[in-house]
Chain A
Amino acid sequence: MRLAHEDERTQSMCPRDRRGRSVKMYLQFLWRCFRLSFVGDWRYYAWMFVLSVFVLLGINAYCKQLVYGLATTGMTDQVSWGFYIANFTFLVGMAAAAVMLVIPVYIFRNRELHDLVIFGELFAVAAIIMAMLFVTVDLGRPERFHHLLLRFNFPTSMLTWDVLVLNGYLLLNLHVCGYLIYCAYRRREPSKLFYIPFVFVAIFWAISIHTVTAFLYSGLGGRPFWNSAVVAPRFLASAFAAGPAFLILTLSVLARFTSYPVAPKAFLTLRTVVTVSLAINMFLLGSEAFTEFYTDSTHGASAHYLFLGLDGHAALVPWIWSAIALNSMALLVLFMPVSRRPAVLQVACVMLIVGIWIEKGMGMIVPAFVPTPLGEIVEYLPTLNESLVTLGIWAGGLLLYTILVRVTVPVLSGRLTYDRSFSSAIEERAPVTQESLVAAAPRTSVS
């Protein structure tokens, strides 16, 4: 309660003192967030413990990779990108998908999603950080990262575009989320000038990150499997299915384990987004497959390898057909009214996330390398070490996202503010209602 009369006191101070106090209060906010991330019930501790174990296993595996080189992965000169780049691609899409919450709220003024949009933006932050980690672990010489700053091959190399758009998107989302959350903490009305323009820039930016990532591949004339104009639209469609599906799962967890109000209609809006995007994605995949198989030129060797196997090599065939089966089943379920039921919807979401992860990862990155440009067939499977690094990054990202959500919920519900003691933030006795939210949380946009 020490801070109860903060405002009156700051009013009477000279500007420099006030700035000093603001910095102090911001540091206090960060410190409280840090403390809060260690507080939870046993399920929270169990979840965080498991994630931490995987993070440590991942760090351990990455240290081995640093010592012995990328020979610890399944990659070869023939298949020179694998699991890491596959997960990178998938996660850039997941990050871009936050826009599928932002557009309904800020353009179509959807009210159900209004108080939830920030969880999408927070996930974008976590997903971008994971994506960047995946690129970093894929580097043979990570300690030379500063060479990017010294000789940046822009605009010729698409990879430099990717560096720019990913970092830009991370900053945009950090700014919007950080600003809104801190305003709620200070019980201030957020100034529209400070975030609405950034939200609109972020809408276009989100589309750009996944488009640039698609151009990274589709711009390579030497890889016919990637050299297709439909790659970018496919990436966007699959991202806009998998991303919102993940948010449905997140919001289900929020609704189940916290008192944060999640309107049932929010799930239905997201369900529509997921269904339409998944249908478009399946259509685009079909278009791609038709072009490759009906033409039946040597251009289609990689597609043959992926869907049917080539010269007795068929490592990816079970993967891609599982992906297609999962996506088709998810689409079928989503088309049926029964998927309005939360449990059914959640199962469909899990199926399509896994399906798209396979389709976009193992199904998009690896086959472009088989056969090689010289017609040699070498198959790729991730090694244990590589899988542990991958799991470690995923665990680290989920750990970060869990902390972000765990801290954000009490702030937005008005339980953790500058003028309340820390212990009141962790009391959940007074359930949050829509009304108390309106009173406490920033009225972010719609008005």
Chain B
Amino acid sequence: MSDLLIHDGPSAQPPSHERGVHEPELTRRSFLRTGAAAVGGMAALAAALSPLRDLATEDIPNLDQFFQKHYKEMSPAEMQQALDRISRKVEERYQVRPHLRDIKRMEGVEFVYALNLSRCIGCRKCVHACVAENNQSRSPEIQYIRVIEMPRGTLDVERGNHHYDHPTVPDADHFYLPVQCHQCANPPCVKVCPVEATWQEADGVTVVDYDWCIGCRYCEAACPYWARRFNFAQPNLPKDQLNPDMSYLSNRPREKGVMEKCHFCLHRTREGRMPACVEICPTGARKFGNVLDPESEVSQILKTKRVFVLKEEVGTLPRFFYYFDERYPNSLDPEAIEIANRLREEEGEAYGSLPGANGPNAAFIAQATPARWDEARA
């Protein structure tokens, strides 16, 4: 390294026959200069790397986590190991021992969803039930269901309003179009994932292995229904609001930097219960069941109602069907209006505009400051 810095270009170059005389002195000086430059460079690099000191220990994967296999490759014993590890982590963070398991699909079941637009009053109770059930982050906010307020006479979502905030719902001139993952039979999100971190289960539910996702967000770009969500920051959820009833592929707490989405509450539905959004819906607009069972309610609806899917032209073959009740072609179902009125009396004006249903992540990021990031991490 001796002559690294002594030659300041062509003109600074001493004639070669003189060099021998001056070399020792120059070498010592240049050695010091090179040393100083190297030390300065290393110090600057260390300073540049200093934010890593704030890296949360849980962000650094331990060996078990690093070498954990893909969901489909884990043996039952390895799955149990993973479940134990995740349970311990949840307990450390939330001081609640979760009832965490890996629930396999039931044979002979294919789930289908149907939504009666004549009965939806736009109260967004489904949004909140979903968040409570599935342990979504509260800050930044993540929700799987988006309810769009639509002017009558169109199904063009670009004319809808996502951020309606009336004192009461329903608004007489609008109808309400809730959208969530359509669990497509031909899912573009699965097709594009480079690491097979998301796939379609045989009962029709598209799931994510949160421990396998690399967070490239290609699936989010591919989804025509805007059904997938990304954890831009460490998800934040108050300890007393954690739902301890959880499964590996559904509502166990997620990490920063991975995708998540609606999974038809498979920790409930694979054990014979209804999804949280169906259970909470005050007007009975939401129907869910096994399409392979001809007697199920959804089978009856598909047979007897004029159902349609959103964006049929993109060829995704959704398992999420909408329909209007033919009995009430021009208005909401009177029974639904009655329910809405009763809710208004019982709950005041609170239910119409529930907090956080208004493009939460954008608002969070607009205020993103280091302090805010810390808060999100805490």
Contacts and interface: CB of A to CB of B under 8 A. Distances in A.
Interface of A: 35, 38-42, 44, 52, 56-57, 59-60, 63-64, 66-78, 80-81, 135, 138-145, 147-148, 150-153, 156-160, 163, 216, 219-223, 298, 301, 368-369, 371-376, 378, 383, 422-423, 426-429
B195 interface: yes
B313 to A, nearest CB: 8
26 contacts: A39-B3, A42-B8, A56-B44, A57-B48, A59-B45, A60-B50, A64-B370, A76-B361, A76-B362, A77-B220, A77-B361, A80-B217, A139-B215, A141-B214, A141-B215, A143-B66, A144-B213, A147-B195, A151-B70, A152-B195, A157-B191, A159-B218, A222-B225, A223-B222, A373-B223, A422-B3
Contacts of B140: 71
Interface residues of B, number: 88
A331 B200 CA distance: 50
A337 B229 CA distance: 54
B143 to A, nearest CB: 10
A158 B188 CA distance: 12
A71 to B, nearest CB: 4
A376 B359 contact: yes
Contacts of A153: 193-196
B214 A140 contact: yes
Nearest to A424: B16
Given A153-B194, A222-B223, A222-B224, A423 B231 contact: no
Contacts, number: 244
B9 A40 contact: yes
B376 interface: yes
Contact of B362 (A52, A368, A373, A378): A378
A383 B368 contact: yes
Contacts of A383: 368
A151 B197 CA distance: 9
A322 B2 CA distance: 50
Interface of B: 1, 3-5, 7-10, 12-13, 16, 19, 41, 44-45, 47-52, 54-56, 59, 61, 66, 69-70, 140, 142, 146, 148, 156-160, 162, 179, 188, 191-197, 212-218, 220-226, 228-234, 255-258, 311, 314-316, 359, 361-362, 364-365, 368, 370, 373-374, 376-377
A158 B226 contact: no
Contact of A298 (B9, B156, B256, B359): B156
A70 B230 contact: yes
A36 to B, nearest CB: 10
Contacts of B361: 76-78
Nearest to A392: B48
A52 B37 CA distance: 12
A369 to B, nearest CB: 8
